[in-house]
Amino acid sequence: MKFKNISRIICLTLFIFIFSSTFISATETTTEQGAKTRLELLEEFIQDTYLNDSFSNEPNQNSSIESTYYGVLLSDYLKISYDIYDIIFYIQKHQKSDYGFSNQIKQETTINATFFAVQTLKQLSVGSEDLNNWQIFQYLNKSISEILYNPSNYVNLTTQDILTINRFFLASSILNETVLFPYNSLINALKQIQFTNGTYPSFYYAVEISSLLSLFEQPPADVQGTIRYLKSFRFNDTGFTKDSSDIISIKDTYYAISTIYTLGEEVENKNKIVDAILDLQTPEGGFMDKKSQNPTLESSYFAYQILLLLNSIKSLDQLAFLESTGFLNFNFLIIGSVSLLSLIIIRKKRTKKL
């Protein structure tokens, strides 16, 4: 009787093992064959944010001028089609009576939103002559006057002020407008913000000052000090974070690397940065700025830019989020559980017979 029961257990277990092994092989093959590359997932995420005439920062959200800028650029990089004229019309609807643009319909006009509108229109091949008919510079010049044309205000420039000035000049350049301002006073004020030991009041002071000075083909007061300062924000040889946290940020990483490159130097151990950035891609296809956040179009744009800077775009050709190992573990768990259950059933039958 004992031998008979043992034989049953062995046969049943063998049958389950063969069946599960076949299922495992089929599942593993299906998983690999059906898997998509990181690039394909990113393309799907971008398409999920496309709303026919604009882009939203996340799927199922309202669109904005800024997110449409990121969507248009990413779509052009990846050769994803969209309706150019619908997007131009969408941007036109956001121009207000002061000739500036709002980021969303019900918001006020800002230089930043106007900058993104102008940049997007340029990307859509709307020329400066056509843009002049929109009278955009009239708004830009009036809005920047308090910050730019009064040197006494240079003493208390914030990072947002410097960013706004930067975007004003970039937009003005696209519009082919010449700007007269206290050049020497602004250059000196920007350079004096850097401390004598090469550091800055904050990470983004170093980024924005270096960026604005580069527009005027001017270096920071201490180039090597700026580079050392920015590199000090790298976390564990991976990405960068503007604060002391151990969570890297895609946006911080992009601005650190792009600024360091602008200043004529590169970053070390690029592969570790690439791995850290790819680790922030989600199964939805988009990238999150930091761990445990939602993927956004903005973060995906900065992630793509980082990979471009590091000559690592081909890393997006990797298969993404394979789960074959998980299936294997799960099926072995089934095998063990069923085998144990079979043994218990047989033992119970034997007990009843006794």
pLDDT in tens, 220-230: 999 999 999 99
pLDDT digits (tens, 9 = 90+) for 157-173: 999 999 999 999 999 99
% of the chain at pLDDT higher than 70: 81
Identify whether 295 is part of a domain. Answer: no
Identify whether 21 is part of a domain. Answer: yes
Identify whether 15 is part of a domain. Answer: yes
Identify whether 313 is part of a domain. Answer: no
Main-chain dihedrals φ then ψ at residue 315, nearest 5 degrees: -65, -20
How high is the pLDDT of residue 35? 85
Tell me the pLDDT of the chain averaged across its residues.
87
Dump the DSSP string for 95-160. Answer: B-TTS-EESSTTSPEEHHHHHHHHHHHHHTT--HHHHHTTTHHHHHHHHHHHHHS-GGGGGG--HH
pLDDT digits (tens, 9 = 90+) for 71-115: 999 999 999 999 999 999 999 999 999 999 999 999 999 999 999
How high is the pLDDT of residue 64? 98
State how beta strands 109-110 and 101-102 pair: antiparallel
Structure tokens belonging to residue 220: 């920071």
Find the domain containing 341 and state its range: 1-34+324-354
Q: 174 versus 337: which is more confidently predicted?
A: 174
Contact of 328 with 26, CB cutoff 8 Å: no
User: Where residue 325 falls among pLDDT bands split at 50, 70, 90?
Assistant: very low
**In terms of pTM, does the model score above 0.85?**
no
Identify whether 118 is part of a domain. Answer: no
Identify whether 347 is part of a domain. Answer: yes
pLDDT digits (tens, 9 = 90+) for 128-160: 889 999 999 999 999 999 999 999 999 999 999
| Domain count along the chain | 1
Phi-psi region of 292 (alpha: psi -120 to 50; beta: other; left: phi over 0): left
Identify whether 142 is part of a domain. Answer: no
Identify whether 28 is part of a domain. Answer: yes
